[in-house]
Amino acid sequence: MGLFGGRKTVFVDADILVIGGGMAGCGATYESRYWGRDLKIVCVEKANIERSGAVAQGLYAINCYMGMQWGENQPEDHVRYARNDLMGLVREDLGYDIARHVDSTVHKFEEWGLPIMRDPKTGRYQREGKWQIMIHGESYKPIVAEAARKAATKVYNRIMVTHLLMDAKKANRVAGAVGFNVRTGDFHVFRAKAVIVSAGGASHIFQPRAVGEGMGRTWYAPWSSASAYALPIQVGAKMTQMENRIVLTRFKDGYGPVGAYFLHLKTYTENGYGEEYEKRWYEDTKALVGDYIDRHPVPTCLRNHAILKEVAAGRGPIRMVTKEAFQDPHKETVGWENFLGMTIGQAVVWASQNIDPKHINPELTTSEPYVMGSHATCSGAWASGPEDYAPAEYQWGYNRMMTVDGLFGAGDTIGGTAHKFSSGSFTEGRIAGKAAVKYVKDMTNGQPQVSEQEYRDLEKLIYQPLENYRVGRNEIVAGTVSPSYLLPIHGLQRLEKIMDEYVGGISTNYMTNGVLLARGLELLAMLKEDMSHMGAEDLHSLQRAWELDHRLLASESVTHHTLFRKETRWPGYYYRGDHMKLDDENWHCFTLSRYDRNTGKWEMEKAPVYHIVD
Ligand SMILES: Cc1cc2nc3c(=O)[nH]c(=O)nc-3n(C[C@H](O)[C@H](O)[C@H](O)COP(=O)(O)OP(=O)(O)OC[C@H]3O[C@@H](n4cnc5c(N)ncnc54)[C@H](O)[C@@H]3O)c2cc1C
Q: In this structure, are strands 319-321 and 364-366 parallel, antiparallel, or unpaired?
A: unpaired
pLDDT of residue 307: 97
Q: At residue 586, does pLDDT exceed 80?
A: yes
Q: At residue 1, does pLDDT exceed 60?
A: no
Give the tens place of pLDDT for each residue, 318-344.
999 999 999 999 999 989 988 887 788
Q: At residue 610, does pLDDT exceed 60?
A: yes
Give the tens place of pLDDT for each residue, 276-305.
999 999 999 999 999 999 999 999 999 999
Q: At residue 53, does pLDDT exceed 80?
A: yes
Q: How far is the CA of 271 from the centre of ligand 1 (A)?
A: 33
| Cα-based angle 565, 568, 572 (whole degrees, multiple of 5) | 130
Total count of residues recorded for the chain: 614
Dist. CA 342–CA 170, nearest whole Å: 45
- Average confidence (pLDDT) over 585-608: 97
Task: Give the E-state strand segments of 246-361 in sequence order.
Answer: 249-251, 268-270, 319-321
Ligand 1 atom having least distance to the Cα of 47: 47
- Average confidence (pLDDT) over 583-600: 97
Q: At residue 251, does pLDDT exceed 60?
A: yes
- Summary mean pLDDT of the chain: 95
For ligand 1, atom 8, which residue shows the shortest CA distance? 61
Most confident by average pLDDT, 207-221, 259-273, 371-385: 371-385
| Other CB atoms within 10 Å distance of the CB of residue 383 | 35
Do the beta carbons of residue 97 and residue 27 sit within 8 Å? no
Residues 6+ apart with CB under 8 A from 277: 269, 270, 271, 306, 307, 310, 315, 318
Q: Is 466 in the pocket of ligand 1 (CB under 6 A)?
A: no
pLDDT of residue 481: 83
Q: Which helix (H) or strand (E) holds 336?
A: helix 329-340
Dist. CA 280–CA 277, nearest whole Å: 5
Q: How far is the CA of 56 from the centre of ligand 1 (A)?
A: 8
Q: Is 322 in the pocket of ligand 1 (CB under 6 A)?
A: no
For ligand 1, atom 32, which residue shows the shortest CA distance? 200
The band of 3, judged by pLDDT with boundaries at 50, 70 and 90, is very low
The band of 57, judged by pLDDT with boundaries at 50, 70 and 90, is confident
Q: Which helix (H) or strand (E) holds 30?
A: helix 23-35
Give the tens place of pLDDT for each residue, 110-141.
999 999 999 999 999 999 899 999 999 989 99
Q: How far from chain centre, in Å, is Cα 3?
A: 38
Give the tens place of pLDDT for each residue, 506-548.
999 999 999 999 999 999 999 999 999 999 999 999 999 999 9
pLDDT of residue 444: 78
Do the beta carbons of residue 427 and residue 458 sit within 8 Å? no
pLDDT of residue 2: 44
pLDDT of residue 155: 98
Q: Is 88 in the pocket of ligand 1 (CB under 6 A)?
A: no
SS (H, E, C) 62-82: ECCCCCHHHCCCCHHHHHHHH
Q: Is 45 in the pocket of ligand 1 (CB under 6 A)?
A: yes
Ligand 1 atom having least distance to the Cα of 413: 26
Q: What percent of the chain lies above the pLDDT cut of 70?
A: 99
Ligand 1 atom having least distance to the Cα of 162: 41
Largest CA distance in the chain: 71
pLDDT of residue 498: 98
pLDDT of residue 5: 59
SS (H, E, C) 306-334: HHHHHHHCCCCCCEEECCCHHHCHHHHHH
Do the beta carbons of residue 245 and residue 79 sit within 8 Å? no
Q: What percent of the chain lies above the pLDDT cut of 90?
A: 91
